[in-house]
Structure formats: C-alpha cells, structure tokens
Amino acid sequence: MGGFTEAVHERVREARAALSQALAAEDAYETAVAQDELDDALWVAQRHGIDVGADAADEG
C-alpha cells in the first residue's frame, strides 16, 4: 500500500474513532465536527478509488 493510501486509511480510522468518542460523550458540536471530517475523508477515499470499508474492523 502506498503512502497516500495509508494516509487516507489512517485519516478515516481517526475520523471514525473521533466520531465514536463524540457520540459516546453526547457532545453535539464535536459530533458534527467529527462527522464532517469523516465525510470528507470518505470523499477523498472514494475520489481516489480507495476501499476503506475494512477500516471499521481496525477500530478497537
């Protein structure tokens, strides 16, 4: 996996983790920010043909 692809996977993993934490904390603002970041990261992945579906299993 190339460096860009790895970076996209990492960005998606981090965004999913941040969203999960914000939801658990019931923090509406942080949830919105994290959802926006995840949406953007997923858009980048899709735009470049990077499958990030397996990243959900990487979350602890």
Question: In this structure, what DSSP letter does residue 31 have?
Answer: H
Domain ranges of the chain: 3-52
Q: Is the pLDDT of residue 11 over 70?
A: yes
Q: What is the pLDDT of residue 53?
A: 85
pTM assigned to the model: 0.84
pLDDT band at 54 (very low <50, low <70, confident <90, very high): low
pLDDT range class, residue 22, cuts 50, 70, 90: very high
Q: Would you give the distance in Å from CA 17 to the centre of its chain?
A: 7
**What is the distance between the alpha carbons of residues 60 and 36, in angstroms, rounded to a whole number?**
21
Q: What is the mean pLDDT of residues 16-31?
A: 98
